């Protein structure tokens, strides 16, 4: 008896997805609700669970195929174990189990995603020694990047030594290529960014901000903050809070164009870019204007953890009235971010570095950060953009303004 596995409901207005990878092979034992495949939608990757326990049967579609909601993609056969070899074969191989590298061909678990698998091979690490932080303990790119490289063996066997010695001879100088299908998420990001460039009158305005006061406040209160709220005190909480106040004062930055109308929002749903195994995703902090710094930090921390685990949902990334992207965590000094339609503006944060500035007629060294506001000039005038950045700058350089609503 077999049970069909169908594409689940993917979210509002989402009718199709792309099969990203199979997490089980035909013949593998499967538990009820265990993921057997991952689907890529326009915004997130979604794992398809097995409806019953049994054995993985026929896989109806191939990796890269487009599937509709409700379509059959595989079957689960009745039974609780993988088909076993004959008893003679079992006895012949007892005590002589092949090492993991021989059992899987390339030494990697078959449940690794292609990008993680490639990274494991590049770093030369043993995936069985790494604790996965993803769903059901699966490895993510961050897990592999944080793992130490495998140490060379001190006394290689003669056979291994001969292989090692022969390796340089195998290098021919030929250049290889690899073709990888563009993921559905990357295709969507590319299309939306190009649409923004083609439709909006994009312009970027810059300013810089002295981070001294925020750094001092963070240093002074970070331990008490984490003890009370159970989350680390970062810089994003300050910037989101300051952005909400600036958006209230300059409402056009928080608005959007809809046909021949302007839609103003009396709330601030802040989209924040966080890192996920397959790239950056942009979940939304709902009603951020009503939140404390602690609530904002908790929400961002939760987004980050769920992004790594691959459990963010379509609803998490739906909507948003304004975006903050922090390229500084990757070392970016300055950038011109592109707006996320239908939003009209995006704030780019960058790395903090000591620079010489003039204060009260004296040249001093201060921790400075460049700010970049990209905006749709059809809706937002230069004066409004500059005023927004100045309001943000004033709040960060004097955080007391955030407490007394100035």
Q: 144 with 116: CB under 8 angstroms?
A: yes
For range 6-10, the mean pLDDT = 82
And the tokens for 192? 């939306």
The pLDDT assigned to 286 comes to: 95
Q: 288 with 270: CB under 8 angstroms?
A: yes
Q: Per-residue pLDDT for 91 more than 70?
A: no
d(CA 228, CA 31): 40
d(CA 150, CA 191): 40
The pLDDT assigned to 122 comes to: 66
Catalytic residue from among 302, 377, 398, 405: 377
> Which stretches does DSSP call E strand in 186-234?
202-210
The pLDDT assigned to 118 comes to: 63
350 flagged as catalytic: no
pLDDT band of residue 82 (cuts 50, 70, 90) is: very low
Domains in the chain, ordered, with CATH? 1-83 (2.40.50.100), 202-404 (3.30.559.10)
Q: What is the mean pLDDT of the chain?
A: 81
30 or 86: which leads in pLDDT: 30
Highest-pLDDT range among 70-74, 125-129, 365-369: 365-369
377 flagged as catalytic: yes
The pLDDT assigned to 175 comes to: 86
d(CA 238, CA 214): 8
Q: Per-residue pLDDT for 86 more than 60?
A: no
d(CA 102, CA 106): 7
pLDDT band of residue 377 (cuts 50, 70, 90) is: very high
Q: Per-residue pLDDT for 88 more than 70?
A: no
pLDDT band of residue 111 (cuts 50, 70, 90) is: low
d(CA 331, CA 343): 26
Which residues, 6+ apart, have CB-to-CB distance to 93 below 8 Å?
Answer: none
Q: Classify 93 as helix, strand or coil.
A: helix
Q: Per-residue pLDDT for 400 more than 80?
A: yes
Q: Per-residue pLDDT for 303 more than 70?
A: yes
H/E stretch holding 323: strand 322-326
Q: Is the dihedral of CA 111, 113, 119, 122 positive or negative?
A: positive
How far from the centroid of its chain's Cα atoms is residue 143's Cα?
Answer: 13
**Axis crossing angle, helix 293-309 with helix 212-229, rounded to the nearest 10:** 70
Q: Per-residue pLDDT for 166 more than 50?
A: no
Burial of 244 (0-12, 13-18, 19+ CB in 10 A): buried
d(CA 15, CA 157): 56
Taking alpha carbons only, the member of 255, 210, 245, 266 closest to residue 391 is 245
Catalytic residue from among 354, 381, 398, 405: 381
């Amino acid at each position: 008896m077999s049970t069909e596995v169908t594409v689940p409901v993917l979210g509002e207005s989402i009718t199709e997805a792309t099969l990203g990878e199979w997490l089980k092979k035909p013949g593998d034992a499967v538990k009820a609700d265990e993921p057997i495949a991952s689907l890529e939608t326009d915004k997130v990757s979604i794992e398809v669970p097995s409806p019953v326990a049994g054995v993985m049967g026929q896989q109806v579609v191939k990796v890269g195929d487009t599937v509709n909601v409700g379509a059959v993609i595989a079957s689960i056969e009745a039974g609780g174990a993988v088909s076993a070899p004959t008893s003679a074969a079992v006895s012949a191989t007892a005590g002589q189990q092949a090492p993991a590298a021989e059992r899987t061909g390339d030494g990697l678990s078959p449940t690794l995603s292609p990008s993680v698998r490639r990274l494991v091979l590049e770093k030369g690490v043993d995936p069985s020694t790494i604790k996965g932080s993803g769903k059901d303990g699966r490895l993510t790119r961050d897990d592999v990047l944080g793992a130490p490289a495998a140490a060379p063996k001190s006394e290689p066997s003669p056979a291994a030594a001969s292989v090692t010695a022969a390796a340089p001879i195998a290098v021919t100088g030929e250049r290889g290529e690899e073709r990888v299908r563009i993921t559905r998420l990357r295709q969507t990001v590319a299309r939306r960014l190009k649409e923004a460039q083609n439709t909006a009158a994009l312009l970027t305005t810059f300013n810089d901000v002295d981070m001294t006061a925020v750094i001092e406040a963070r240093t002074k209160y970070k331990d008490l903050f984490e003890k009370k709220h159970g989350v680390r005190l970062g810089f994003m909480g300050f910037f989101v809070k300051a952005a909400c106040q600036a958006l209230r004062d300059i409402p056009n930055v928080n608005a959007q164009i809809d046909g021949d109308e302007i839609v103003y929002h009396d709330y601030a749903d802040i989209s924040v870019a966080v890192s996920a195994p397959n790239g950056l995703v942009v979940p939304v902090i709902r009603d951020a204007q009503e939140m404390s710094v602690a609530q904002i930090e908790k929400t961002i921390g939760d987004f980050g953890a769920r992004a790594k685990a691959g459990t963010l949902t379509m609803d998490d990334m739906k909507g948003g009235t304004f975006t903050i992207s922090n390229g500084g965590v990757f070392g970016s000094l300055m950038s011109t971010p592109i707006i996320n339609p239908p939003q009209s503006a995006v704030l780019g944060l960058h790395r903090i570095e000591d620079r010489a500035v003039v204060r009260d007629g004296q040249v001093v060294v201060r921790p400075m950060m460049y700010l970049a506001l990209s905006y749709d000039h059809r809706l937002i005038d230069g004066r409004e953009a500059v005023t927004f950045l100045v309001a943000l700058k004033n709040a960060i350089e004097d955080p007391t303004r955030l407490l007394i609503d100035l």
